[in-house]
C-alpha cells in the first residue's frame, strides 16, 4: 500500500508527556534512555548543520541547565560533543539552576556527574552568579536547556535571570534544546523567552514553536529524529507541519487529456475603486494553481481596466453578470479580495452561499469575511483571515489569535463548519473535522500588499481543480496545499528577484505548481 503523504507531527506539551509515558510503559524507553537518545541526536544534528562553528579548536561552550530533563538533554548533548572531539572539556562550563544532590538518580544528575568527571567547570547560578555570568558571557556557543515542555506559566526567578543575560549577549550562538526556554503552549506575547539562533526540535516537534507569537524566538528550527518509533508518535499527534514538498502530493495532478472545463473552473468577485490590483492578482493566482478557466466579475467602472490585458481570464461586468451565466458553472468561487464591505455586496454573497449549500467550494477572503460574519455555512467554505480579520470575526484580540492559533481555530472551524486559513508569518489551517496544520512561513518577501490576494486565488484554483474530481472534496487539503505553495513561491521569487511584486510571486507559484501537477503523468489518468 502506498504511504499516505503526511507533514511532520506536531504535539503539545501534554501530548509529549503522554508519549513519554507510553514509551516507558510499552516500549521499554525509560527517561534515561530517552534523554540519552535525545541529547546524542541533538549533538549529531547540530554538529552536522554548523560544522564551521567547530573549526575553532578553542571553542568555548556553556550549557545553561534547569533541573529537569531539558537540562539533562543539553548536558548529554555537551558530553557527546566533547566525546566526538568537537570541544575540549576544559573549555566547557555548566551553569545550573540547582546542583543535584549526591544521592539523586535522575537523567540530569547522571549527566551532570559525567561532565564534572570529564573536567567541565560547573557553576550554580544562585550562589556563584558572577562567575556564572562570566562563563555565559565568554562562551562562543550557549546551549539552552533551562526549561522545555516542563515549563509552568511564564519564566520566573533564577531561570528568568539566566535567560535575560543570555538574550543580552549579542556575539554568542545560542542553541535551544527542544524549545527556547520560556516558550510553551500558553505563551503570550509579553512572556519572556530566550531568543535562540537555532532550536533543536526533538521529535515529536512541539507545536508551540510554530505559534506565531513564539516562532521568531526559535530561529532556525532543526528537527532531531530517531528517538521515538513513528507509530508511537502517530498515535499522539493531531497537528501536522506541512511544506510544499509534502503538500503537493496531497493534490492530484492534472490529466493529460484534461480540457479547460475538466481542469476546474473558478469564478471570482473582487476589486473595487482603489484596489483593482487585488482582482488581477487573485485571478492570476487561480490560473497559477492550475484552474482550467477563470472568470472575473468586476464592478462596471473597473471592468474595462481589468478586461484589457486579462491574459486568458474571462472578465465580465459584475453589476449585471450573474454567477453561472457565462459558459460554465463554477466549481469554486472566490469572493472578497479588495471588494469592499458595502452592503450592496450582500445579494452576491447570499447567492454564493446558496451555491455553497449545494456543494460549490467557496473561498471567502478579506472583505467577504467581514461581510459573512453572521451567515451560516454548509461545509464548503474556506475563510482566509489575517490576524486582524480573525480577531474581528471571532470576537477575540489579535494577540490571542497569534498566541493560541490551534485552540482558537479548532473551535471556530467546528462552530462555523468552515476550513480556516489563518495567515501570518506562520500559517495555520483548521478543518471542521478537527484536523489542524501549520505551514512555516518566515518569508518576508510575502510581507507586502497583495500576497493575501494571491493566496486566495491559489486556494480557489486548487479547490476548483479538486472539486471537479470530487464534488464536496477535501477543502482542507486544498487550503494546506495553497498555503504551502504561496510560501514556496515567495521564497523562490525572493531568491530570483529580491523584493518583488505579487504578480512575480504568482509566476513563481505557476512554475512550482506546473512542475508538481503537470509533469510525470504521461499515460496515466488520475481521479
Ligand X SMILES: NC(=O)C1=CN([C@@H]2O[C@H](COP(=O)(O)OP(=O)(O)OC[C@H]3O[C@@H](n4cnc5c(N)ncnc54)[C@H](OP(=O)(O)O)[C@@H]3O)[C@@H](O)[C@H]2O)[C@@H](O)CC1
Ligand Y SMILES: Nc1ncnc2c1ncn2[C@@H]1O[C@H](COP(=O)(O)OP(=O)(O)O)[C@@H](O)[C@H]1O
Tell the smallest beta-carbon distance from residue 212 to ligand Y (Å): 9
* CA angle in degrees (0–180, nearest 5) for 154-155-159: 170
Q: Which stretch binds ligand Y (CB under 6 A): 152-160, 407-415, 437-445, 509-517?
A: 437-445
Q: For the sheet containing 198-202, what is the strand order?
A: 121-124, 92-96, 61-65, 141-145, 173-177, 198-202, 220-224
Q: Is 359 exposed, middle or buried (0-12, 13-18, 19+ CB in 10 A)?
A: middle
- Comparing CB distances to ligand Y, the nearer of 333 and 482 is 482
Only segment of 264-272, 314-322, 401-409, 438-446 that touches ligand Y (CB under 6 A): 438-446
**Is 148 assigned to a binding site?**
no
- All cell numbers assigned to 176: 535551544
Beta bridge partners of 430: 420, 436
Cα–Cα distance, 283 to 295 (Å, whole number): 8
Could you tell me which of 429, 428, 500 has the C-alpha nearest to residue 509?
A: 500
Least distance (Å) from ligand X to the CB of residue 213?
17
Under the criterion CB under 6 A, does residue 274 sit at the interface with ligand Y?
A: no
Three-class secondary structure assignment of 225-272:
CCCCCHHHHHCCCCEEECCHHHHHHHCCCCCCCCCCCCCCEEEEECCC
In 106-156, which residue ranges form alpha helices assigned H by DSSP? 107-118, 129-138
Q: Are 204 and 11 in contact (CB under 8 A)?
A: yes
Q: Under the criterion CB under 6 A, does residue 425 sit at the interface with ligand Y?
A: yes
**Least Å from the CB of residue 35 to ligand X:** 4
Partner touching 120 among ligand X, ligand Y, none, CB below 5 to 8 Å by kind: none
The answer to the question of whether 363 is labelled as a binding residue is no
Q: Is 165 in the site for ligand Y (CB under 6 A)?
A: no
336 among annotated binding-site residues: no
| 453 annotated as belonging to a binding site for a ligand | yes
When asked if residue 455 is in the footprint of ligand Y (CB under 6 A), the reply is yes
Residue 293 contacts ligand Y per CB under 6 A: no
Picked from ligand X, ligand Y, none, the partner binding residue 149 (CB below 5 to 8 A depending on kind) is ligand X
Q: Please check whether residue 364 is in contact with residue 335, taking contact to mean a CB–CB distance below 8 angstroms.
A: yes
Side-chain half-sphere CA neighbours of 75 within 13 A: 32
Q: Choose from ligand Y, ligand X, none: what does 452 bind? Cβ within 5-8 Å by kind.
A: ligand Y
480 is in an annotated binding site: no
- Residues with Cβ within 8 Å of 230's Cβ and at least 6 positions away in sequence, in order, are none
Cβ neighbours of 379 (radius 10 Å): 16
Which of the stretches 45-53, 268-276, 309-317, 421-429 binds ligand Y when contact is defined by CB under 6 A? Answer: 421-429
**Least Cβ distance, residue 444 to ligand Y (angstroms):** 5
- Residue 444 binds ligand Y (CB under 6 A): yes
Q: Is 247 exposed, middle or buried (0-12, 13-18, 19+ CB in 10 A)?
A: buried
Write out the residues near ligand X by the rule CB under 6 A: 16, 19-20, 34-35, 38, 66-71, 73, 97, 147-157, 159, 177-178, 202
Least separation in angstroms between residue 147's CB and ligand X is 3
| Choice from 287, 424, 430, 477 touching ligand Y (CB under 6 A) | 424
The answer to the question of whether 26 is labelled as a binding residue is: no
For CA atoms 308, 271, 294, 453, give the dihedral sign. Answer: positive
- The yes or no reply on residue 214 touching ligand Y (CB under 6 A) is no
Least Å distance, CB 186 to ligand X, is: 11
C-alpha cell at 353: 452561499
> Nearer Cβ to ligand X, position 151 or 334?
151
Measured in degrees and rounded to the nearest 5, phi and psi for residue 204 equal -70, 140
User: Hey, which bits of 194-233 come out as E strands?
Assistant: 198-202, 205-206, 220-224
- Residue 441 touches which of ligand Y, ligand X, none (CB < 5 to 8 A by kind)? ligand Y
Instruction: Report the residue number, 108 or 452, with the smaller CB distance to ligand Y.
Output: 452
- Pick 60 or 423: Cβ nearer ligand Y: 423
Residue 359 site contact among ligand X, ligand Y, none (CB < 5 to 8 Å, cut-off depends on kind) = none
Report the alpha-carbon distance of residue 92 to residue 19 in Å, rounded.
33
Among 189, 322, 447, 515, binds ligand Y (CB under 6 A): 447
Q: Which partner in ligand X, ligand Y, none is near 442 (CB below 5 to 8 A by kind)?
A: ligand Y
Q: Which positions from 362 through 381 interact with ligand Y, judged by CB under 6 A? A: 366
Helix (H, G, I), strand (E, B) or coil at 88: coil
Contact indicator for 432, 417 with CB cutoff of 8 Å: yes
Q: Which residue is nearest to ligand Y (CB)?
A: 452
Binding site for ligand Y (CB under 6 A): 366, 386, 423-425, 427, 441-444, 446-447, 449-453, 455, 486
Residues annotated as binding site?
Answer: 278, 338, 386, 423-427, 452-453
Residues annotated as binding site for (6S)-NADPHX?
Answer: 278, 338, 386, 453
Residues annotated as binding site for AMP?
Answer: 423-427, 452
Amino acid at each position: 500500500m502506498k504511504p499516505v503523504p503526511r507533514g511532520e507531527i506536531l504535539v503539545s506539551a501534554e501530548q509529549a508527556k503522554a508519549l513519554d509515558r507510553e514509551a516507558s510503559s510499552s516500549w521499554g524507553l525509560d527517561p534515561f534512555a530517552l534523554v540519552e537518545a535525545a541529547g546524542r541526536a541533538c549533538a549529531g544534528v547540530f554538529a552536522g548543520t554548523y560544522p564551521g562553528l567547530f573549526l575553532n579548536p578553542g571553542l568555548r561552550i556553556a550549557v545553561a541547565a534547569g533541573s529537569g530533563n531539558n537540562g539533562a538533554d543539553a548536558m548529554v548533548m555537551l558530553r557527546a560533543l566533547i566525546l566526538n572531539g568537537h570541544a575540549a572539556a576544559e573549555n566547557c562550563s555548566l551553569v545550573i539552576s540547582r546542583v543535584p544532590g549526591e544521592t539523586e538518580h535522575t537523567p540530569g544528575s547522571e549527566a551532570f556527574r559525567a561532565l564534572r568527571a570529564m573536567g567541565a567547570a560547573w557553576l550554580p547560578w544562585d550562589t556563584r552568579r558572577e562567575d556564572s555570568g562570566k562563563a555565559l558571557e565568554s562562551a562562543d556557543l550557549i546551549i539552552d536547556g533551562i526549561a522545555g515542555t516542563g515549563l509552568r506559566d511564564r519564566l520566573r526567578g533564577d531561570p528568568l535571570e539566566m535567560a535575560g543575560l543570555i538574550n543580552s549577549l549579542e556575539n554568542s550562538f545560542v542553541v535551544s534544546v527542544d524549545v527556547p526556554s520560556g516558550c510553551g503552549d500558553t505563551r503570550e506575547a509579553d512572556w519572556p523567552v530566550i531568543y535562540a539562533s537555532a532550536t533543536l526540535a526533538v521529535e515529536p516537534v512541539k507545536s508551540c514553536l510554530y505559534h506565531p507569537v513564539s516562532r521568531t524566538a526559535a530561529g532556525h528550527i532543526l528537527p532531531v529524529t530517531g528517538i521515538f518509533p513513528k507509530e508511537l508518535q502517530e498515535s499522539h499527534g493531531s497537528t501536522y507541519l506541512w511544506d510544499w514538498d509534502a503538500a503537493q502530493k496531497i493534490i492530484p495532478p492534472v490529466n493529460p487529456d484534461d480540457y479547460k472545463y475538466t481542469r476546474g473552473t473558478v469564478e471570482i468577485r473582487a476589486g473595487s475603486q482603489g484596489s483593482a490590483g487585488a482582482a488581477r492578482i487573485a485571478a492570476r493566482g487561480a490560473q497559477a494553481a492550475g484552474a482550467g478557466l477563470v472568470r472575473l466579475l468586476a464592478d462596471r467602472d473597473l471592468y474595462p481596466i481589468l478586461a484589457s490585458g486579462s491574459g486568458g481570464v474571462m472578465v465580465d461586468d459584475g453589476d449585471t453578470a450573474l454567477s453561472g451565466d457565462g459558459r460554465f458553472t463554477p466549481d469554486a468561487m472566490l469572493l472578497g479580495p479588495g471588494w469592499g464591505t458595502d452592503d450592496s455586496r450582500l445579494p452576491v454573497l447570499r447567492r454564493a452561499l446558496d451555491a455553497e449549500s449545494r456543494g460549490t467550494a467557496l473561498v471567502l477572503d478579506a472583505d467577504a469575511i467581514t461581510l459573512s460574519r453572521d451567515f451560516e455555512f454548509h461545509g464548503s467554505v474556506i475563510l482566509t483571515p489575517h490576524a486582524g480579520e480573525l480577531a474581528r470575526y471571532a470576537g477575540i484580540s489579535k494577540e490571542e489569535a497569534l498566541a493560541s492559533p490551534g485552540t482558537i481555530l479548532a473551535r471556530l472551524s467546528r462552530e462555523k463548519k468552515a476550513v480556516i486559513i489563518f495567515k501570518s508569518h506562520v500559517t495555520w489551517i483548521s478543518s471542521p473535522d478537527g484536523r489542524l496544520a501549520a505551514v512555516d512561513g518566515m518569508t518576508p518577501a510575502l510581507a507586502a500588499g497583495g500576497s493575501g490576494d494571491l493566496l486566495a486565488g491559489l486556494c480557489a484554483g486548487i479547490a476548483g481543480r479538486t472539486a471537479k474530481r470530487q464534488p464536496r472534496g477535501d477543502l482542507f487539503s486544498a487550503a494546506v496545499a495553497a498555503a504551502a505553495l504561496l510560501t514556496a513561491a515567495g521564497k523562490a521569487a525572493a531568491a530570483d528577484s529580491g523584493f518583488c511584486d505579487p504578480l512575480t510571486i504568482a509566476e513563481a507559484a505557476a512554475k512550482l505548481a506546473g512542475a508538481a501537477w503537470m509533469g510525470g503523468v504521461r499515460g496515466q489518468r488520475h481521479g
